[in-house]
Amino acid sequence: MYKNAFDCLVQGVYIVSSCTENERAGLAAAWVMQSAFKPAMLAVALGPTRKTAEVIEKSKKFSIQVLDKKQKEIGELFGYYSSRNVEKLKLPIVEGVIAYFECELVGRFESGDHVIYNGLVVNHKLLNPHGEPMLFSMRDWF
Ligand SMILES: Cc1cc2nc3c(=O)[nH]c(=O)nc-3n(C[C@H](O)[C@H](O)[C@H](O)COP(=O)(O)O)c2cc1C
């Protein structure tokens, strides 16, 4: 049963990551959307205290990976621990993701207690055409 209007919003769960020469960071994000069709752009809303936001500010680029329903443990690792304390990104592409996008930062908008990073998609690949994207809804994810 829905408890309020926000519960009716449905999102996916994604790994958003970024790196400079010296550091890398990544997190789980539900607030990801396609923000333009031509050229293709993707946007993500991040809390400014996230280490990943700090690295995006420096690198001006980020990647987005689409988690499969089977990858809840990976989502928990990226969503419950900060890159400040844990090395989450053993490899740039997380094993088992359905697809990834590489984006160059082209816009940055303050949005209340979050910042929206808008990225131009410069590379993308579908890795598993049979995958089922994880969903985030009613504050639960599955
Ligand atoms: C399912 C899920 C979705 C999340 N979505 C977002 C989001 O859209 N934006 C955000 O800033 N944090 C989101 N978080 C919280 C971050 O993933 C979490 O704070 C993370 O530890 C930050 O890591 P970092 O400090 O390495 O960047 C989400 C967490 C979970 C579990």
The verdict on residue 19 lying in a domain is: yes
Question: Which of 28, 9, 100, 122 is closest to 71 using CA atoms?
Answer: 28
Ligand 1 atom closest to Cα of residue 136: 1
| Ligand 1 atom 4 nearest Cα | 29
Confirm if 67 and 104 have CB atoms less than 8 A apart.
Answer: no
3-state secondary structure of 24: strand
The verdict on residue 34 lying in a domain is: yes
pLDDT tens-place values along the chain, 142 residues long: 889 999 999 999 999 999 999 999 999 999 999 999 999 999 999 999 999 999 999 999 999 999 999 999 999 999 999 999 999 998 899 999 999 999 999 999 999 999 999 999 999 999 999 999 999 998 899 9
For ligand 1, the distance from its centroid to the CA atom of residue 28, given in whole angstroms, is: 5
The verdict on residue 7 lying in a domain is: no
Look up the domain containing 68 and give its range.
Answer: 13-126
Domain tally for the chain?
1
The CATH number covering residue 66 comes to 2.30.110.10
Ligand 1 atom closest to Cα of residue 25: 26
The verdict on residue 117 lying in a domain is: yes
Residue 24 Cβ < 6 Å to ligand 1: no
- What is the rounded distance in angstroms from the CA atom of residue 18 to the CA atom of residue 68? 20
